[in-house]
Chain A
C-alpha cells in the first residue's frame, strides 16, 4: 500500500512537471523588453565607492551626465545642451536643458549639478571616478539652468569626464543625509534619476526592472522595460541568450563565441574599445629601470599568438595606451615591437645581463628575477603562466603570484606593493592619460608603475591645456611616440568588445555597450 502511495506521488510529480506549459521566459509583449545580465546586485549611485561594473549598466540608464559619449565617441550633449570654455581654459560654462524632470516629478536644476559635484570633490568621500575632477576648484550656480566649473588648471578632457559614469543625482533626495554613502534607501533600493527608464521593481539577487519614463527629455522610449538580471556565470548567460531569456550579452570569454555564432536569432558583432591590457612594471623595482630591459620584454612575447590563444583573435596588439578607436588622436607611427627573441637577448646583453650557467640572466651576481602579480579573474591565470614561459626563454625568471581580486586590490594595488602586475584599464573615450601616467598620479591615482618622466608630464599637461583639437592632437601625437619608446606600461592588446544580440533588438549604436546603454530610448524591439 505504501509503495503504491509513493509511486502515485512520483508519477504525479512527473506529470505535473512534464505537463507544464512552456515557460515564456523572454520579454513580454507591447513595446518590448530587454533583459541584460549583470554580475551582482547593483548600487544605484554612480559615485558610490562600491559601484563597480555591475552598477555601471543600470546607472547609465537611470541617470544622465552633463554630456554623454557621442556615437562618434566625441562628447555629445546630454543634460547640458551646450558648453563654453573661457579663453584661458579655466572656466567651463554648461547650459542645462530646461524642462527636465526627475523621475519623481521634481524639476532638475543647476542646484542638482552643484550638489553632485560637491560630493565628488569632497576628498573625504573618495567618490568613484573623482580622480577625473581633481582640478575642479569649484562648481558655481549662475542661474537655475547654468553652472560653471572653475578649474585650478585647464582640462580639455572635462567634456568627456562629465559624461562617463558621471550621472547627476538629485539634491532633494539627500536632504538631511550627512554621509551620501549611507543613504541606503536611495543607493541600494529606490534611485531617482532623469534617465529614459525609472525603477519599477528590484528583487535583490534576482533582477532590477526599469520601466519607460514617459517624460524623458530626449523622447519617449519605445521599449516597455529594461531588466538587469543578476547572473554572474558567463556560461549560464550564453545558455540564457540562446533560450531567449536574455536579449543581449557581453561576451568577455571569446571561447564562447562559437556557441552563439551562426544561430538564427542572434547577431554577433564586435566594436573597437578604448581599453587596453598590460603588464605594469613597478619603476621602483631595480630590474625595470633600464628602458632596454622593458623593450626586450616587449620583443620576447608573441602577442599575436597570445591573442589567438586567449581571445580567439578578437583584439589587436597595442602600440600604446591610445586605442585606434579614438580616430582623431591615434598615432600609428610609433615604435613597435615584433616577437624577436634574438633582439630581446641583444637588448638585455646591452643592459649588462649575461646568461649564467643555467641559461638564466645575471648581472653583478644578481639573478634577473621578479614577481608577477595578477588577480585570478578572466584569463589572467594562464596568461601569467604564458608570460612566465616567454620570459624564461630569454633568461628571465618570473615568480607568479595569483591573488583573489579583493586581495589583489587591497593588498597590492592600493599600497603599490608589487614588482610587476598584469591588469587592464577601461578609460573614457579620450586620449587624456594624465591620471594614468602623470607623476602626480603615482601615489594616489592610477599611475600604477609609479612612472615619472618630465617630458611625458609636460605633454600630458599640454594636452589638458589645449583648447582645440589640433593642439591636443599635437601633444598626444608626441605623447604616444614617447610612451611607445619608453614603455611605462608593457602593452599587451586592445581587445574588441564582443556582443551577442537577439536579432529582434535594433537601434544599438555601434559603440561600446556601456556607452550604448545611454541610448536605450532609441532601442527598438521588433
Chain B
C-alpha cells in the first residue's frame, strides 16, 4: 500500500516537472510553422490546440484527464496518445527485454568467471572487454556492427523489425533483433560484469566462505549456495539502475536501426513539440522505472528472506 502511494507521488512529481520543462522549452509545435502563416493564424492554431491557456491551467486539465487514463491526442498523428504508444511499446519491450536478457545471461556468468579466476588471463580479457564496452559510443558501435555483419559478411539485416514485404517468421525476427539488442546490451552488460566481479570478490574474501571451505564443502557448492547468492544483492540493485538506462539507450539504437519503438518516437515527438505524446511517453518511462524498482525489491526478498518492506 505504501509502495503504491510512493509510486503515485513519484508519477505526479515526474509529470509535473516534465510538463513544466516541455511547456517552457523554446519553440512551439511545428504545426503551421510554414512561412505562409501569419501571426494571427498561428495564434488561432494555438487556441485550437489549447496552448493559449496558462501553463498551470493546462497542467490541471491534463492531470484531470490523465487520472481517467486519457492522455489526449498526438498533435502530429491525430490518434489518441495511448494508441500511438501502444503500437510502439511492445517493440521497445522486445528490444529492451532481449538486451536485458543478454546482459544478465552473459554479464553475470562472465563476472563470476572473472572473480573466481582473479588476475588470470581470462580475468584480464573479461575486464578489458568490459572496459571497451563501457567506453564505446552506442552510435559508433552500431555502425561498426552494421558494416561488419550486414555489409561485409551479409549475415544479418541492418535495420527494421522484419524483412519488408515478407510474412512473419521467428528466424527473421531474431535476425533483425540481434544487432540492435547487442548494441543496447552494451549499455548494461559491461556494468553488470564489473559489478558482479567486485561483489563476488568481496564475498569470497569473507570469513563465512573460508569457514565453509574449512568444513570441507566443495568450492563450487560454496560459491553457488553462499557467495554468489549474497553477491547478487548489490548486483540486483545495479540492475534496477540499469533498466532505465536501457530505455535511454533505446533512443539511439532505435534511431540507427530504424526499430519502430518508443525511443525513436520520443525523439520525433520532442523535436516536433508534440506535447501530449511527450507527456504520455514520460508517464510510460516513469512506470517502467517504478516497476523495475519494485521488481528489484521483490528479488531482494527472494535472495535474502531477512529483507522485508513495509
Binding site for B on A (CB under 8 A): 2-3, 6-7, 9-10, 13, 16-17, 20-25, 28, 33, 35, 40-41, 49-50, 52, 123-124, 126-131, 182, 184, 187-188, 201, 203-207, 209, 225, 227, 229-233, 235-236, 239-240, 242-245, 403-407, 409-411, 413-415, 444-446
Q: Could you list some 20 contacts between A and B, CB below 8 A? A: A6-B108, A17-B178, A21-B171, A23-B155, A23-B176, A25-B163, A49-B32, A50-B31, A50-B76, A129-B34, A205-B261, A207-B160, A207-B258, A230-B264, A236-B146, A243-B151, A404-B27, A406-B271, A409-B33, A414-B39
Q: Chain B, 268-286, contact with A by CB distance < 8 Å: what is the 0/1 string?
A: 1001110000000000000
Please tell me which one of the listed residues A49, A124, A242 contacts residue B151 in the complex, with CB atoms under 8 A apart: A242
Task: Chain B residues near A405: list those with CB within 8 A.
Answer: 271
Please tell me which one of the listed residues A123, A206, A403 contacts residue B160 in the complex, with CB atoms under 8 A apart: A206
Task: Chain B residues near A130: list those with CB within 8 A.
Answer: 36
CB atoms of A126 and B105 under 8 A apart: no
Q: Is B41 interfacial (CB-CB < 8 Å)?
A: yes
With A and B bound together, what is the CA distance between A112 and B115 in angstroms?
74
CB atoms of B268 and A40 under 8 A apart: yes
Nearest-Cβ distance from residue A410 to partner chain B, whole angstroms: 5
Nearest-Cβ distance from residue B22 to partner chain A, whole angstroms: 12
Take A35-B164, A207-B160, A446-B35 as given contacts and tell me if A407 and B26 are in contact as well, using a CB distance cutoff of 8 Å.
yes
Nearest-Cβ distance from residue B14 to partner chain A, whole angstroms: 23
With A and B bound together, what is the CA distance between A230 and B157 in angstroms?
15
Take A205-B264, A239-B158 as given contacts and tell me if A131 and B30 are in contact as well, using a CB distance cutoff of 8 Å.
no
Please tell me which one of the listed residues A126, A201, A205 contacts residue B36 in the complex, with CB atoms under 8 A apart: A126
Task: Chain B residues near A2: list those with CB within 8 A.
Answer: 224
Task: Chain A residues near B31: list those with CB within 8 A.
Answer: 49-50
Q: Is B207 interfacial (CB-CB < 8 Å)?
A: no
Given contact pairs A242-B147, A243-B150, A243-B154, a sample of 11 additional A-B residue pairs in the complex whose CB atoms are under 8 Å apart: A7-B109, A23-B163, A24-B166, A50-B76, A204-B77, A230-B260, A236-B142, A236-B146, A245-B157, A410-B28, A445-B35
CB atoms of B156 and A20 under 8 A apart: yes
Task: Chain B residues near A6: list those with CB within 8 A.
Answer: 105, 108-109
Nearest-Cβ distance from residue A121 to partner chain B, whole angstroms: 11
Take A242-B151, A406-B273 as given contacts and tell me if A414 and B88 are in contact as well, using a CB distance cutoff of 8 Å.
no
With A and B bound together, what is the CA distance between A198 and B221 in angstroms?
65
Binding site for A on B (CB under 8 A): 26-28, 30-39, 41-42, 44, 76-79, 84, 87-88, 102, 105-106, 108-109, 139, 142-143, 146-147, 150-151, 154-161, 163-166, 171-172, 174-176, 178, 220, 224, 255-261, 264-265, 267-268, 271-273
Task: Chain B residues near A33: list those with CB within 8 A.
Answer: 164-165
Nearest-Cβ distance from residue A131 to partner chain B, whole angstroms: 5
Please indicate which of the listed interface residues A205, A209, A245 has the most CB atoms of chain B within 10 Å of its own CB. A205
Task: Chain A residues near B38: list those with CB within 8 A.
Answer: 126, 444
Task: Chain B residues near A131: list those with CB within 8 A.
Answer: 35-36
CB-nearest residue of chain B to A12: B105
Nearest-Cβ distance from residue A129 to partner chain B, whole angstroms: 8
Nearest-Cβ distance from residue B145 to partner chain A, whole angstroms: 9
CB atoms of B105 and A13 under 8 A apart: yes
Task: Chain B residues near A409: list those with CB within 8 A.
Answer: 27, 30, 33
Task: Chain B residues near A49: list those with CB within 8 A.
Answer: 31-34, 37
CB atoms of A236 and B256 under 8 A apart: yes
CB atoms of B87 and A240 under 8 A apart: no
Task: Chain B residues near A209: list those with CB within 8 A.
Answer: 164-165
CB atoms of B150 and A205 under 8 A apart: no
CB atoms of A233 and B77 under 8 A apart: no
Please indicate which of the listed interface residues A33, A40, A209 has the most CB atoms of chain B within 10 Å of its own CB. A40
Nearest-Cβ distance from residue A196 to partner chain B, whole angstroms: 18
Take A50-B31, A407-B26, A410-B28 as given contacts and tell me if A231 and B36 are in contact as well, using a CB distance cutoff of 8 Å.
no
CB atoms of B157 and A23 under 8 A apart: yes
With A and B bound together, what is the CA distance between A205 and B41 in angstroms?
30
Take A203-B260, A236-B142, A415-B39 as given contacts and tell me if A410 and B155 are in contact as well, using a CB distance cutoff of 8 Å.
no
Task: Chain B residues near A23: list those with CB within 8 A.
Answer: 150, 154-157, 163, 172, 175-176
Please tell me which one of the listed residues B42, B265, B271 contacts residue A205 in the complex, with CB atoms under 8 A apart: B265
CB atoms of A184 and B255 under 8 A apart: no
Task: Chain A residues near B272: list those with CB within 8 A.
Answer: 50, 406
Nearest-Cβ distance from residue B282 to partner chain A, whole angstroms: 18
CB atoms of B77 and A184 under 8 A apart: yes
CB atoms of B258 and A231 under 8 A apart: yes
With A and B bound together, what is the CA distance between A405 and B27 in angstroms?
9
Task: Chain A residues near B109: list those with CB within 8 A.
Answer: 3, 6-7, 10
